[in-house]
């Protein structure tokens, strides 16, 4: 019978990503409810020393798969290793982050394990000793409650920045286990030669705790400098609506929305964004939403916790000055 809960940790350049700690924290809460052990699976190259970071947040074991071919994520290598170990150990529940990597890996992993996956979950519970996942559907207009058939591995991804982090505890005890797996080079169809990454110094949109986004109301790319200035003051990341990206004002990597990045920051400031359903689907689970728009009928105000009806070119500089006074 399948036993235990696994979380598949993410690392980039050897640094464990925040979503991994969120998964451990939520996994610990689930494990305590059903009385089963919690295991983190960490893949990478020379990554073993990072296992203790996961242990602080509540895991009982960390399985480390250490291999030079796992240094950078590739679907072929990662799904091969994780599926091998999962078939051997048969965990009851496997949780991944609903990141680009997690969504890619979970779909292929579900096929290997002959199960399904509840994508982009924002809430988990246990009913009759089985995982129940809640996820938004129809661009966030409704929520679906998903459960799993008997005798199947329960596989789900969790939206970043939604689940509460446990306080790290350096005194926690846990075991580090060397994962047993094999990798056949002939089966690896892709190889990462180089990764070119823009050095912004800011958190990725999917992990950012504060986001300042601009839309069509910014009127042009040159005006985003006032958002950059505000973002610097409050340690936020700058995002954009689809219309701004389509106009060429910001790169696609900055796009928030259904066809961009789905975000859940503690604070989301929408500047000159009307609030199309595509955009709302990408940021609707933000903790606090502030909307600045000169159109009092803009749909974004229906979703906002705080709204300012006014010209953003007057409001943003004034807001920045007030922030400076507070700081």
Which residue, 154, 187, 220, sits at the end of a domain?
Answer: 187
State how far the Cα of 3 lies from the Cα of 113, in Å rounded to an integer: 15
Residues 179 and 311 in one domain: no
Neighbours of 238 (CB within 10 A): 22
Closest among 50, 205, 32, 195 to 40, alpha carbons compared: 50
Residues 164 and 251 in one domain: no
Residues 236 and 142 in one domain: no
**Which one-letter DSSP state was computed for residue 245?**
H
Yes or no: say if 39 and 59 are a contact pair by the CB < 8 Å rule: yes
DSSP-assigned letters across all residues of 48-69:
GGGHHHHHTTT-SEEEEEE-GG
- Please report, for the domain that includes residue 14, its CATH number: 3.40.50.620
Neighbours of 78 (CB within 10 A): 22
Residues 27 and 173 in one domain: yes
Residues 246 and 305 in one domain: yes
**CB hemisphere CA count around 288 (13 angstroms):** 9
Yes or no: say if 103 and 157 are a contact pair by the CB < 8 Å rule: yes
Residues 21 and 129 in one domain: yes
Residues 312 and 215 in one domain: yes
What is the residue range of 259's domain?
Answer: 210-326
State how far the Cα of 268 lies from the Cα of 237, in Å rounded to an integer: 10
State how far the Cα of 154 lies from the Cα of 130, in Å rounded to an integer: 8
Q: How far is CA 213 from CA 136, 225, 267, 289, 310, in A?
A: 22, 12, 11, 11, 16
Yes or no: say if 3 and 38 are a contact pair by the CB < 8 Å rule: no
Tell me the whole-structure pTM to 2 decimals: 0.88
Residues 181 and 227 in one domain: no
> Is residue 201 a part of any domain in this protein?
no
Yes or no: say if 59 and 174 are a contact pair by the CB < 8 Å rule: yes
State how far the Cα of 290 lies from the Cα of 196, in Å rounded to an integer: 33
pLDDT in tens, the chain (327 residues): 567 999 999 999 899 999 999 999 999 999 999 999 999 999 999 999 999 999 999 999 999 999 999 999 999 999 999 999 999 999 999 999 999 999 999 999 999 999 999 999 999 999 988 999 999 988 788 999 999 987 789 999 999 999 999 999 988 899 999 999 999 888 888 888 887 776 666 778 998 999 999 999 999 999 999 999 999 999 999 999 999 999 999 999 999 998 899 999 999 999 999 999 999 999 999 999 999 999 999 999 999 999 999 999 999 999 999 999 998
Both tokens assigned to 75: 């679907």
Residues 223 and 124 in one domain: no
């Amino acid at each position: 019978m399948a036993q235990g809960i696994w979380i598949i940790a993410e690392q980039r350049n050897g640094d464990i990503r925040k979503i991994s700690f969120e998964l451990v924290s939520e996994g610990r809460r689930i494990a305590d409810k059903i009385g089963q052990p919690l295991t983190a699976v960490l893949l990478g190259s020379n990554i073993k020393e990072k296992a203790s970071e996961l242990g602080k947040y509540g895991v009982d074991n960390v399985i480390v798969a250490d291999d030079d071919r796992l240094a950078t994520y590739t679907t072929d290598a990662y799904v091969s290793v994780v599926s091998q170990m999962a078939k051997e150990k048969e965990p009851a529940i496997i949780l991944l982050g609903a990141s680009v990597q997690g969504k890619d890996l979970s779909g292929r992993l579900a096929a290997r394990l002959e199960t399904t996956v509840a994508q982009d979950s924002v809430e988990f519970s246990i009913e009759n000793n089985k995982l129940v996942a809640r996820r938004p559907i129809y661009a966030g207009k409704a929520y679906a409650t998903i459960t799993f058939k008997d005798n199947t591995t329960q596989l789900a991804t969790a939206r970043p920045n939604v689940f509460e982090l446990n306080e790290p505890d350096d005194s926690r005890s846990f075991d580090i286990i060397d994962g047993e797996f094999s990798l056949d080079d002939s089966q690896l169809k892709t190889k990462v030669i180089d990764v070119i990454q823009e050095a912004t110094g800011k958190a990725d949109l999917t992990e950012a705790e504060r986001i300042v986004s601009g839309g069509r109301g910014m009127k042009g790319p040159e005006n985003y400098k006032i958002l950059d200035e505000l973002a610097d003051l409050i340690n936020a990341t700058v995002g954009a609506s689809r219309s701004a990206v389509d106009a060429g004002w910001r790169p696609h990597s900055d796009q928030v929305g259904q066809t961009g990045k789905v975000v859940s920051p503690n604070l989301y400031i929408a500047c000159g964004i009307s609030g199309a359903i595509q955009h709302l689907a990408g940021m609707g689970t933000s903790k606090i939403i502030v909307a600045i728009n000169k159109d009092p009928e803009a749909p974004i105000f229906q979703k906002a916790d705080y709204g300012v009806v006014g010209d953003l070119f007057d409001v943003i500089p004034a807001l920045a000055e007030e922030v400076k006074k507070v700081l």
